[in-house]
Structure formats: structure tokens, C-alpha cells
Amino acid sequence: MKIRRSGRLVDMTRYLLDHPHHLISLTIFAERYKSAKSSISEDLDIVSEMLEHEGTGRLVTVPGAAGGVMFIPTWSSEKALPFIDDLCERVARPDRLLPGGYLYLTDLLGNPRMVKQMGQVFASVFSQKKVDVVMTIATKGIPLAYAVAEQLGVPFVIVRSDSRVTEGSTVSINYVSGSSKAIRTMALARRSLPRGANVLLIDDFMKAGGTIRGMMSLLSEFEAKVAGVGVLIEAEGAEKKMVSEYVSLMKLADVDVDLGQIQVKRGNVDQYFTSDGNT
Amino acid sequence: MKIRRSGRLVDMTRYLLDHPHHLISLTIFAERYKSAKSSISEDLDIVSEMLEHEGTGRLVTVPGAAGGVMFIPTWSSEKALPFIDDLCERVARPDRLLPGGYLYLTDLLGNPRMVKQMGQVFASVFSQKKVDVVMTIATKGIPLAYAVAEQLGVPFVIVRSDSRVTEGSTVSINYVSGSSKAIRTMALARRSLPRGANVLLIDDFMKAGGTIRGMMSLLSEFEAKVAGVGVLIEAEGAEKKMVSEYVSLMKLADVDVDLGQIQVKRGNVDQYFTSDGNT
């Protein structure tokens, strides 16, 4: 059945959003809709214009026989910065404060729409990097890592901090927690990471950075490379960070348990979003 | 800026796919695109027709002043059954077999596109149930629970099997693992589940069902109700199941460690997909 332009636009949008960072040959669309490639090209121009207008991403066209079109999720500054400011406000609510100065974030990290948008912001920041795999450590960062991986069109792997791993042989390392100076263990299934992979590390929280450093040591055991580091919240503190390069969406400036006050501001992510509206 | 039909169709598709199970007032679209509601209605007819044609979902229109349109992800049988059969084939590959008869599933559960599609199948099955929250237990089922929650437009919560919980006061219970008869503990943050919530339980693997039963006991501590149970793979075995009603995508019929053979067939999910192509 030949499909008209209006129908093609609906289905093409769905298909492209479902396959971020994947090169899709125009032939696939031409056969799918029984339409000429010239019509498909015109459709793609409309989709591209609308995605850029909404600030959610762009289409990249690769010419030639092996070419095609690729959807790259990239948020504009007009979309990203208000989202991050809204996140900061939500995190700063005093009722999040838990004994020991911890923050209750379960509601945010358990809200698929919020997590997906965090993933879209990270995917925007790392869209130019070569990323083969996203890696996180259990438990709370898993949904975020999933969302980032989905938007980058790559798989994700989960490092475990316990030994109850039923994934075959594992590689494990000891590492020093940066803030408590305790020695901990992390483990990853040997099969889950190909040698030489470019790995984006994602975590929900970074204090001194000991956990991220641990994941970096683990990567070197796999002869894999660090493609980048992204954390949802970094704690601004006196401790020297054990990780020099990272992108944070939020920065926890101050937590006053006695007064019940939490100060949260934009993380260093805002340097990736300029005032002209582009990443 | 007034936006033409072709642009509206692209953006509307993106918006609807991003907000499953949410009632969206036509006024929102009319203001967003500076267009008459009659034009918006015509656009929605085109989107609806195309989604049903592709078997990925349908639009439900609620008439009246408080009405609007809702996207319900519901896969057709023509889409769901081949996907499940493909999953079965992937799981049956002999190189998944690990010592102790465990299966290596990290690649499948770490592939966002596969996991999203599993989520879409479960969301199709449970689309008519009243679900307020999706619940899973750490660690491997988390991405699947996220995907199901995303497609149902609800939050998800993660039950922990360790005590390193930094989420404030928790409710914990002891339960008996159905297969090993060992006593285990699971815990959930008190704040994370509202009283009386309708909860869909999701897990990656079910043998005798002890873990699911444990989650049910935990729910009763929260005076919450079981809206349904979904597992990716159930093990077919001699043990009596401790859970009577559940939906499984796959059934592990036989694992022969010596011969290196794994037999996997469709789970009971196939009764939800009939041959006329509708759920």
C-alpha cells in the first residue's frame, strides 16, 4: 500500500525517534512507503525543520550510495536550561533532606519522563563523542544510564557492588571511596564489555569521585577507554575531586541539615549550552 | 508562528509518543500550533490511522470540555508475536549457558531498543488495568521496569535486597526464596509508594515465584494492591508456582547443561494476542 505524505510524516517521525544515532538508508523509507526517494527527501526536510524548531534534535544527511539519514537528539539551550533550572528547584525542596545529609531523589529517578529528559540532555552534550557503551554502577543510576544509552543508540552495562552476580566470569577490582576512605569492591561480567570500547560513565551522584575513579580502573582492566563522564548531581565540597573531567547537570552547593536548607545550582553542563540557542 | 499541517503532524506524533496514557486537551495542541481545533481533530485522525496501521498503538478520544486525546501503546499480534519469537530464538543460543544452569541475558537487558520493545508488549497487555506504579527488585529487572512504566506513563519504584539504602525510613520484610528455600530480606523506602496504590510487579526471571510473593507481602505492608505481574522469562519446572496469575513473555522449557541445549518457547503472553491482529 502506497502511503501519502501525511501518513509518511507520522510514521517517519516515530521511526526516526526510535532509532537515534542510527544511519537509516533512504531505500528503507522508500520501500516502506512505496514512494520515490525524492518524495522521501522532501518529507525528511519537513521532519528536520520541525525537530530543530522544537529544539529537540536534528537530522544529519549522509550523501552517497552508502548514505542515509540519522537523527541526533540535541536539545537547544532554550529547552535544556529551563529544564535544568526546574530540576534544581525540585531537588532544593527541604523535604528531601534525610538523616546524614542524604537527599531523597527516588521520586525523580523513578519518573520515566524526567529521567528520559535527563538522558536527552546528556545525549546532547556527548553527541559528538564516539560512545560505544554506557556504563553505570548499581543501583540508583541504572534508569539514567538506560535513558542516556537509549538516546545515543548504544547498549549499557551495569557494574555490581555485590558478589551475587549470575553473569558468568567477572572482573572485579577494589577501590577507595573518596569521601569515606573505605575500601569497596565492584565487579563487571567479562562478556559484557568488548575490548577497546569507548565507554561513557554515568552516575546519579558524585562527591569526591571515588566511584567514578573505580569504574575507570575497571575500564582499564578491559582495555577500554573513557569517552566521558556524566553525573546528575555533584556535591560541591572541600575535598579534591578524584576525577578531573566530567559533566554535571546540578551542583549541590550547600546542605544545612539543622536549618533544613538545600542549595542547588546548575552544574558545569551550562557551559555546553550557549545563549544563541544551540549546543 | 502558525504551523502547517505537515509540521503539526511531526510534532504531534513526537508529543503523543512522549506522553503515553496521558489525556492531552485539544486546546494544548490548538495553542501550540495556533490552529483551529477542527484542524487539530483532522490531524489526530491521520496520526491515529497511521499508528493503527503500523500496529504500535491507538489514540482514544474523550469528548467534552474536560476531554482530549490519549495515546495508548498497544501492539498488534502481527507485531508482538514475531518480536517474542525472535526473543525466544535469541535466548535459546547455547553460548548463553553459564555454570549452574544460569543464562547470560546481560546483552538483551542492556540493549535499550530491545528493552523498550519488551516494555511496549507488557504495556499492551496491561493497558486496560488501572496501574499507578510499576515495581521491581534490584538489579537486572530495573531497565525493564523503567520501560514498562514509561509506556504506561506512571512512575516506578525499586525494591532493594541490601540494606545500603539512603532513601530515609524503609519497610523491610523477610521472604522465602521459592527454589533455594533460603530466607532473604527486601526493603522499600517508605515514601516511595502511596497507600492504596495499584502496583504492577515486573521482574526479569521467575522460577518458583518466591521473589514475586515477597514483593506482594511488601505491598500489603503499604496497603497497596497488585494490579498485575509480568515476568520476562519463567522457568517451567516441577516446583509449584507460588504465584497464580502472571504474564510471561518467554518460558524456559528445558536447560541441558551437559548437551549445552536451551529450549525456549512463548510464555503465556500469547493468549493476549489473538490471530485477528488485535490485543
Q: What percent of chain B has pLDDT over 90?
A: 78
Question: What's the pLDDT score for residue B277?
Answer: 45
**What would the pLDDT profile of B25-61 be if each residue is shown by its tens digit?**
999 999 999 999 999 999 999 999 999 999 999 999 9
Same domain, B63 and B108: no
Residues 6+ apart with CB under 8 A from A83: A75, A117, A121
- Statement: residue B1 has pLDDT above 70: no
Question: What's the pLDDT score for residue A216?
Answer: 97
Same domain, A124 and A86: yes
Residue with cell 562527591: A207
Average pLDDT, chain B: 92
Q: Smallest CA–CA separation between B103 and chain A, in Å? A: 7
Question: What's the pLDDT score for residue B107?
Answer: 94
The verdict on residue B62 lying in a domain is yes
Same domain, B66 and B87: no
Distance CA B222, CA B206 (A): 23
- Statement: residue A173 has pLDDT above 70: yes
Task: Report CA dihedral (B140, A20, B26, A43) to the nearest 10 degrees.
Answer: -150
Question: What's the pLDDT score for residue B119?
Answer: 98
The larger pLDDT score, comparing residue A1 to residue B225, is at B225
Same domain, B199 and B220: yes
Which strand (E) or helix (H) includes residue B48?
helix B37-54
User: Hey, are the CB atoms on B106 and A157 less than 8 Å from each other?
Assistant: yes
Give the 3-state DSSP-derived string for chain A, with helices as H, strands as E and coil as C.
Answer: CCCCHHHHHHHHHHHHHHCCCCCECHHHHHHHHCCCHHHHHHHHHHHHHHHHHHCCEEEEEECCCCCEEEEEECCCHHHHHHHHHHHHHHHCCHHHECHHHCECCHHHHCCHHHHHHHHHHHHHHCCCCCCCEEEEECCCCHHHHHHHHHHHCCCEEEEECCCCCCCCCEEEEEEECCCCCCEEEEEEEHHHCCCCCEEEEEEEEECCCHHHHHHHHHHHHCCCEEEEEEEEEEECCCCCCCCCCCEEEEEEEEEECCCCEEEEEECHHHHHCCCCCCC
Q: What percent of chain A has pLDDT over 90?
A: 78
Q: What is the largest CA-CA distance in chain A?
A: 68
- Statement: residue B93 has pLDDT above 80: yes
The larger pLDDT score, comparing residue B121 to residue B164, is at B121
Question: What's the pLDDT score for residue B230?
Answer: 98
The verdict on residue A220 lying in a domain is yes
Q: Smallest CA–CA separation between A141 and chain B, in Å? A: 10
**What would the pLDDT profile of A226-256 be if each residue is shown by its tens digit?**
999 999 999 987 566 788 899 999 999 988 8
Same domain, B187 and B251: yes
Give the model's confidence band at B279: pLDDT under 50 very low, under 70 low, under 90 confident, else very high.
Answer: very low
Question: What's the pLDDT score for residue B276?
Answer: 53
The verdict on residue A233 lying in a domain is yes
**What would the pLDDT profile of A56-85 be if each residue is shown by its tens digit?**
999 999 998 888 999 999 999 999 999 999
Distance CA A136, CA A116 (A): 16
Query: Which among B45, B71, B97 is the end of a domain?
Result: B71
Same domain, B34 and B119: no
Instruction: Give the residue from B34, B39, B132, B146 with the most A CB atoms within 10 Å of its CB, the best one to mutate.
Output: B146
Is residue B211 within 8 Å of B177, Cβ to Cβ? yes
Average pLDDT, chain A: 92
The verdict on residue B178 lying in a domain is yes
Distance CA A262, CA A254 (A): 6
Question: What's the pLDDT score for residue A220?
Answer: 96
Give the model's confidence band at A175: pLDDT under 50 very low, under 70 low, under 90 confident, else very high.
Answer: very high
**What would the pLDDT profile of A250-279 be if each residue is shown by its tens digit?**
999 988 888 889 999 999 999 999 765 444
Q: What pairs with residue A203 in β-bridges? A: A231
The verdict on residue B275 lying in a domain is no
- Statement: residue A100 has pLDDT above 80: no
Average pLDDT, integer, range B165-186: 85
**CATH number, domain containing residue A228:** 3.40.50.2020
Find the radius of gyration of the CA atoms of chain A.
Answer: 21
Number of domains forming the structure of chain B: 2
**CATH number, domain containing residue B45:** 1.10.10.10
Same domain, A227 and A266: yes
Same domain, A226 and A108: yes
Q: How far is CA B228 from CA A53, A110, B81, B189, B193, in A?
A: 41, 19, 21, 21, 16
Beta-carbon contacts below 8 Å between A and B: 160
The larger pLDDT score, comparing residue B164 to residue A21, is at A21
Sign of the Cα pseudo-torsion (A94, A99, A105, A106, in order): negative
The larger pLDDT score, comparing residue A181 to residue B74, is at B74
The verdict on residue B237 lying in a domain is yes
Q: How far is CA A256 from CA A96, A107, A186, A209, in A?
A: 12, 21, 32, 22
Question: What's the pLDDT score for residue B117?
Answer: 98
A155 chain-B contacts, CB cut-off 8 A: 107, 110-112
B69 chain-A contacts, CB cut-off 8 A: none
Query: Which among A17, A39, A71 is the end of a domain?
Result: A71
The verdict on residue A279 lying in a domain is no
Same domain, A90 and A205: yes
Same domain, A49 and A182: no
Predicted ipTM of the assembly: 0.95
Domain membership of residue A159 as a residue range? 75-270
Average pLDDT, integer, range A40-47: 97
Q: Is the peptide bond before A139 cis (omega within 30 degrees of 0)?
A: yes
- Statement: residue B9 has pLDDT above 60: yes
Q: Smallest CA–CA separation between A50 and chain B, in Å? A: 6
- Statement: residue B274 has pLDDT above 50: yes
Give the model's confidence band at A39: pLDDT under 50 very low, under 70 low, under 90 confident, else very high.
Answer: very high
Same domain, A64 and A93: no
Partner residue facing B191 (CB), from A3, A100, A104: A104
The verdict on residue B276 lying in a domain is no
Distance CA B171, CA B220 (A): 11
**What would the pLDDT profile of B249-264 be if each residue is shown by its tens digit?**
999 998 888 888 999 9
- Statement: residue B89 has pLDDT above 60: yes
Q: How far is CA B203 from CA A49, A51, B167, B245, B248, in A?
A: 41, 36, 22, 14, 10
Partner residue facing B10 (CB), from A9, A115, A162: A9
Same domain, B220 and B126: yes
Query: Which among A71, A92, A123 is the end of a domain?
Result: A71
